[in-house]
Structure 1
């Protein structure tokens, strides 16, 4: 990765410049049988569309706080990088009542209603499908995002020294600190551009977010993100590691 990268969005831009066709996020949900593989280019396109949604449709500004009430999921990873692209603070499992806007999965809608700002809901159904019936008071992400632009340019440059990531009750990190810690974790794990990290950790702490996205991204590697992995037999898990060419496991 580029030594001048100072935000997670910078890391993604460097990955896109290095090899847009390589896999970046491979997602499994072992409750539904879903498997989604996103190349760097495809992932970056989702991030650009989501960042445009944030900036233009939701009128989010740098420094605004977004309560992110989503599990470890490929679309959560997209939202995290979209927040980084716009300078919005991603508050993982944050208090919706204290946030400027909220992004919710299907299981946290009632909690998310405490947000007085814009509310976005994700069905988390396979292939990013819409809700059968849009939740009252929410924009359906799957309806809103496809029409957004494929390229994103922030109205104002993102300040690497401004808050970028917050964990409920566990403080904040600036964008530059996120990159620094991700690089340090990648070095500790001895990750390289050929590394494939399998992670079943939730995105509610630094360890889960680093293993399941940021450290592999900082190393130029990729992640196999698994939800409901406990439903797999040991034999099936071994087969997944082999078929996905996993080089390291977290959680």
Structure 2
């Protein structure tokens, strides 16, 4: 990645310039059998649309706090980089009552109603399907995001030194996220073309780094596995072989 990259959004721009066709995130849910593979270009398109939703539909501004009540999931990764693109602070598992906006998965909808600002619900269903019935008090992400523009331009420049992420009670700037991600990539031995399998949750820095930031910083890719405990040892060994995994964190 480019040494001048100072935010996660910058890392994605550099990844697009380097090789937009390569896989970035391959997502498995072993409770549903779902498998989704996103190239850099496809992931960036989701990020652009989501950033436009944050900026225009939610009217979020740099410095606003967005509570992300979501598990480790490819759509969570999209929201994390989209927040970075706008300059909004992504607060993983944050208190919705203290947030300007909230994004909630199907098992956190009641909690998210404590937020007095904009609310977006994600079904987290395979293929990004919408809810059968829109959740009361929420906009359905799968309904709203398709109409958003494929190109994102922030209304205000994003300050790399401003708060960008809160996880596990620690607040990090965009520049700190990038620096930590690069250090983790070196520690994990990640380089261009590496494939990291991670089953770590997104409620700690270690999980976020392994499941998104470190592979993005290194020009590598992640195989993000949810409910991996439902996969047999033989099934895991087969996945490691078929996905050409170079390192594993479970």
TM-score range, shorter chain: over 0.9
Question: Which structure 1 residue ranges, 4+ long, deviate > 3 Å from structure 2?
Answer: none
Distance 1:182 1:244 in 2: 23
Q: Hey, what does 2:177 align to over in structure 1?
A: 178
- What residue number does 2:240 align with? 241
- In 2, distance between residues paired with 1:57 and 1:97? 20
Gaps of 5+ in 1: none
CA distance in 2: counterparts of 1:88 and 1:196, whole angstroms: 29
C-alpha distance in 2, partners of 1:230/1:171? 28
Structure 2 distance, partners of 1:171, 1:207, is 12
> What residue in structure 1 maps to residue 224 of structure 2?
225
Paired with 1:163 and 1:202, the residues of 2 have a C-alpha distance of: 22
Instruction: Describe the SS at the equivalent of 1:119.
Output: strand
User: Once the 2 structures are TM-superposed, how far is the Cα of residue 171 of structure 1 from its aligned partner?
Assistant: 2.1
- Name the residue aligned to 1:130: 130
* CA drift at 1:194: 1.2
Q: TM-score, normalised by structure 2?
A: 0.99
Measured on the aligned residues, the alpha-carbon RMSD in Å equals 0.5
User: Where do residues 45-124 of structure 1 align in structure 2 (5 Å cutoff)?
Assistant: 45-124=45-124
| Equivalent in the alignment of 1:140 | 140
- TM, length-normalised to structure 1: 0.99
Number of the residue aligned with 2:202: 203
- For the residues of structure 1 that align with 2:117 and 2:160, how far apart are their CA atoms? 25
Deviation at 1:134, TM superposition (A): 0.5
How many residues in Structure 1 have an aligned counterpart in Structure 2? 250
CA distance in 2 between partners of 1:118 and 1:194 (Å): 39
